[in-house]
Amino acid sequence: MFDSYAENTLQYHKDRCINCKRCTQVCPHGVFAEGPEHAELAHPAACMECGACALNCPVQAIEVQSGVGCAWAMISAAIRGKDMDSGECSCGGSEGSCCGVQEEKSSCCNEK
Amino acid sequence: MGHRVEPGLYQIGNPTAESPVLASANYTLSFDALRSALAGFDAYILVLDTNGINVWCAAGKGTFGTGELASRIETTGLAGIVTHRKIIVPQLGAPGISALEVQRRSGFRVEYGPVRASDLPEYLRTGKATSEMRRVQFPVRDRIVLAPVELVHVALPAIVIAAVLWFLAGPVAALAAIAAVFAGTVLFPVLLPFIPTRDFSTKGLLLGGVVAIPFAAAFASGSALPGWAALIAAITPLLIMPAVTAYLALNFTGSTTFTSRTGVKKEIFRYVPVMTFMAVSGIILGIVLGVTRLLGVI
């Protein structure tokens, strides 16, 4: 109830994992944990779909539809009649864009 | 834009052919954070062209990416400057970098450093990032920093609406508009982890509801309205203000460090219709109240 974030597009095929531990190194939310034989999916609901794990997995054991969870970008795209998923979190650059200002630690859309 | 560093290879201290190489974005704050964290070390910084955007955002867009990293290694002649073949990439650059592909194209092995530049000294000494160093946090300090940005973004429309409301319904109504916006842009980021429920929209509805209570009381008790009109006067802010605060709260998702696109999309479909219904019905009630007063019914 009142939790839209319990499910996401992350899929992990444990059988393909070669235990290189890359996913545990790139995930900013500890979704994957090291295991004796293969990486363990420790906190799947914490996934923010950044896509780092899937992009860095050498054996395609991880799949995720990566994107930026920015309502502002999605609503703007929808208002302009575009596909919501094409709603780029247009960081930096021109006026009226999101992101910027912050250091590495902050996410997108800091400066709208 | 005055936030850019010229892309290329930079030296920290007196690096040798064995010194570590660290990749960064050409955003001034990213570069400066890295440079000050590396004070006292001898190292190279490879600055990628990310159009002046920080590492994480640029990685999400792919400008801090495999292609740019591989070609920057190439154009700077890094392979002739250092004898090792290792490049330390900030962990938050990983959404844009395929380590395997970088190695294939450039011969350099990508190692992901810690999330925060401030952990680099320890990382360089031990050669390992602890799981704590690999976690992104969203502490109150970072959330407070964002509040003015959120506020400025909606300040102009908020002031215009407040001015219009002042004319139409008086100073308390104008203050209500300001309060709803302030709650959504300043209170919400600060109180984010403490407001019940997980969804930003429901958090915003709760916060906006609490903020609306004194206004509902003020409207209901003011200017000696008959019972039904006092009720409408009280309900109006309870409908409009939470909707405004919740909408602003939902728009804060993009500034956070943890919301997934799937979840945000679900929130939009679940709650934007509710917010719209609340705002529209509140505005209609407000108009009804105003018109009846104008006509001298009350």
Ordered DSSP codes for B159-223: HHHHHHHHHHH-HHHHHHHHHHHHIIIIIHHHHGGGSSSSSHHHHHHHHHHHHHHHHHHHHHHGG
Our CA-based measurement puts residue A58 at a distance from the nearest CA of chain B, in whole angstroms, of 7
Query: How far is the C-alpha of B207 from the C-alpha of B201, rounded, in Å?
Result: 10
Q: Which CATH number fits domain B8-126: 3.20.20.70, 3.30.70.20, 1.25.40.10, 3.40.50.11600?
A: 3.40.50.11600
Cite the beta strand spans of B108-149 per DSSP E: 109-112
What's the CA gap between B115 and B134, in Å, rounded? 6
CB B24 within 8 A of CB A103: no
Q: What is the pLDDT of chain B when averaged over all its residues?
A: 95
Picking from B1, B197, B251, the nearest residue to A71 by CB comes out as B251
Domain A11-63 CATH class label: alpha beta
Taking CB atoms and an 8 Å limit, are B60 and A108 in contact across chains? yes
CA distance B159 to B161: 5
Chain B residues whose CB is inside 8 A of the A92 CB are 1, 27, 51-53, 57
Q: How far is A17 from chain B (nearest CA, A)?
A: 15
Rounded average pLDDT per 10-residue block, chain A, 112 residues: 94 97 97 96 97 98 94 91 71 38 39 33
* Cβ atoms of residues A6 and A45 within 8 Å: yes
pLDDT class of B3 with cuts at 50, 70, 90 = confident
Taking only the tens place, the pLDDT of each residue in B232-261 is 999 999 999 999 999 999 999 999 999 999
- Using one digit for the tens of pLDDT, what is the confidence trace for B72-103? 999 999 999 999 999 999 999 999 999 999 99
| Chain A to chain B Cβ contacts (< 8 Å) | 216
Domain chopping of chain A, boundaries: 11-63, 69-112
Residue A91: what pLDDT?
46
Of the partner residues A3, A28, A75, the one whose CB lies closest to the CB of residue B268? A75
Burial of B246 (0-12, 13-18, 19+ CB in 10 A): buried
Mean pLDDT of B146-171: 92
Provide the shortest C-alpha distance from residue A49 to chain B (in Å).
5
**ipTM associated with this complex:** 0.90
Please name the residues between 71 and 100 in chain B that touch chain A, using a CB distance below 8 Å: 90-92, 94-100
The residue ranges of every structural domain in chain B are: 8-126, 140-294
Predicted local confidence at residue B120, as pLDDT = 97
